[in-house]
């Protein structure tokens, strides 16, 4: 089926759609919110972005190696937990140094999520339709997330800085539960 969801991937579609929307409403507009709401400057944003990329880049290979040894599902859960720490910090603090530290957790969360997610999806879909399935599981959440930055901006404008981050935090908790209850490790 060219456009339909693969039944074996339904939990992944749910997690990805929830995540795409909440990421778009929070993290994708974070730097603008930090400038407008907290007065961060471009050098501070540059340092945050650099530390995020450094954390992600340096942790990706060791994390991938650990996934192959210890399983991938656990790293999806750890990624969600790391992101919950990040969002909790964003909600509770206004200190630049804490935001800088949180970029390390955010980079590691990305390093844990992406290879685990791709591997778990790929092992569930036969090779002859794997590329199409990966395309759909990328496309549908992206389409759902299109209005999210605008909605996040409205949340910020009407309810303040914590509101978009709270939406993200709640979505991470929901995704954590979906992974815990409905995504099993295979072949271990």
Give residue-wise pLDDT tens across range 25-75: 999 999 999 999 999 999 999 999 999 999 999 999 999 999 999 999 999
Residue 96 burial (CB count, 10 A): 16
137: left (phi over 0), alpha (psi -120 to 50) or beta: alpha
- At 188 the pLDDT is 61
- In whole angstroms, what is the distance from residue 45 CA to residue 148 CA? 22
What is the value of pTM for the model shown?
0.95
Name all domains of the chain by residue range, CATH numbers in brackets. 7-178 (1.20.1250.20)
């Amino acid at each position: 089926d060219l456009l339909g969801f693969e039944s074996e991937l339904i939990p992944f579609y749910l997690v990805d759609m929830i995540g795409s929307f909440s990421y778009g409403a929070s993290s994708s507009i974070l730097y603008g919110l930090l400038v407008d709401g907290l007065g961060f400057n471009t050098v501070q944003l540059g340092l945050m972005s650099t530390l995020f990329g450094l954390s992600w880049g340096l942790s990706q290979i060791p994390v991938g190696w650990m996934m192959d040894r210890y399983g991938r599902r656990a790293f999806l859960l750890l990624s969600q937990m790391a992101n919950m720490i990040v969002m909790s910090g964003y909600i509770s603090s206004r200190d630049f140094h804490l935001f800088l530290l949180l970029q390390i957790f955010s980079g590691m969360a990305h390093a844990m999520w992406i290879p685990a997610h791709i591997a778990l999806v790929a092992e569930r879909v036969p090779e002859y339709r794997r590329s199409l399935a990966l395309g759909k599981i990328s496309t549908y959440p992206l389409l759902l997330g299109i209005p999210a930055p605008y909605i996040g901006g409205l949340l910020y404008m009407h309810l303040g800085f914590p509101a978009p981050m709270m939406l993200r935090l709640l979505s991470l908790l929901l995704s954590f539960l979906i992974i815990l209850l409905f995504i099993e490790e295979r072949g271990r």
